[in-house]
Structure 1
Amino acid sequence: MKITTKDKCRVIVIISVKNSFRERYTETPYWKLKLASFNTTKHVKVLMVTPDKDNEISSKANPRKARIVLEYDLDGVYIAKQDFDRADKVKSIKDLIPDIERLVREDQWK
């Protein structure tokens, strides 16, 4: 398939990758909220990928502020390690590609 300048392009998903958080866990949710405030970008999904080296978001039982904010404001958080508490929006990195494929199918260039 040859893509020309006449073809339409559309951003469907933005992926933020963070190695550790410190006080930066609010940056990605901030941009999600900014995107949601405009009609032209409100459809864009924002996902985060992290190894969660500092265990900021791994626990659901005693969640830290970072997990609460990320899980509430983002469309998905994908953790690249074995031991963590899963939730509807907190998943394994193995789920990332299938979820992106699903989002693209659901969007279908609306």
Structure 2
Amino acid sequence: MTTKDVINLYEEYRKRYGAEAYKYISALLIEVKAIHYQDFLKHPTPKNDHEQSWKGFKGNALERLIDHILKEQIFALGLKLVRGKKFERTYPENLTTELQHVKRNLSIDFGKFGFHIPDVDLVVFNPTTFRVIAVLSSKSTLRERIAQSGYWNIKIKNYNLTKHIKVFFVSPDEDNDFSNDKGTGVGKSRAIVETDLDGAYVMTEQSIKESEKVKTFDKFMDDLKKLLK
């Protein structure tokens, strides 16, 4: 099982569910996990820990899926989408000139501790001006990374050269933090989204409590278009 196999499976879901295929990402990942486990039995890790192996694969698969779903739509707007790992895992001299400019425009000044790239999964940028429009982080549950995303949003907004960049979170919300049936209280994860992020987009078939900052995933592209006006 590879991430390419996951994308191929998503395309099967898209044939079945059309534009609403994003709602079934959690179901897709459950199906993928079963296949991944069978592969794991054939080639176990030294510690023989499937859950640990699956956790890393799942996070990467979700990131790749979001990239796959959005890339063509973003390109149609005259923008580009690049994975954050591209900056982390590539020596500066091996980046294209375009991505060297983007990396510089995304970097945060930590004073005497140098410049550092925020921990984000996907970066939306204008290939003509190299201006970064937005960054996205993704996890299957909010509690895994939401506070970290809030921290980076604060750092981005407090630096003049990056304060225009929008920081978004995308998740299937497997803990149902945004679900309509969780009562009237507001959990910590949602509070962070509402106060410390520019928005969150939820990939679920469950009914959610939407707000100006919390919306279903299908609304992301419309909101991105508004940033270009």
Q: What is the TM-score of this pair, normalised by structure 2?
A: 0.41
1:100 counterpart residue number = 224
Residue 108 of structure 1: aligned partner: none
- Who is 1:19 aligned against? 140
Local SS of the residue matching 2:211: coil
- Root-mean-square deviation (Å): 2.1
2: distance between equivalents of 1:93 and 1:23? 19
Q: What secondary structure sits across from 2:155 in the alignment?
A: helix
> Aligned-pair distance for 1:17?
1.2
C-alpha distance in structure 2 between counterparts of 1:14 and 1:75, whole Å = 10
- Structure 2 partner of 1:56: 177
Partner Cα distance (1:102, 1:42) in 2? 17
Per-residue deviation, 1:65: 0.5
Match in the other structure for 1:66: 189
Could you tell me which runs of 5 or more consecutive residues in structure 2 were left unpaired when the two chains were aligned.
1-77, 79-96, 99-127
Structure 2 residue 129 is the aligned partner of structure 1 residue 8: yes
Q: Cα deviations across residues 9-64 of structure 1 (Å, max 9, x unaligned)?
A: 10011111111133532010110001011100011001111110011233572111
CA distance in 2, matches of 1:86, 1:102: 18
Structure 2 CA distance, aligned partners of 1:91 and 1:21?
14
The CA distance in 2 between the partners of 1:104 and 1:45, in whole Å, is 12
Give the total of aligned pairs: 102
Per the alignment, residue 43 of structure 1 pairs with 164
Letter in 2 for 1:50: S
Maintained 8 Å contact 1:35/1:44 = yes
Which residues of structure 1 form unaligned runs of 5+?
A: 106-110
**Paired-residue identity, %:** 36
Which structure features the higher share of helix residues? 2
Radius of gyration: which is bigger?
A: 2
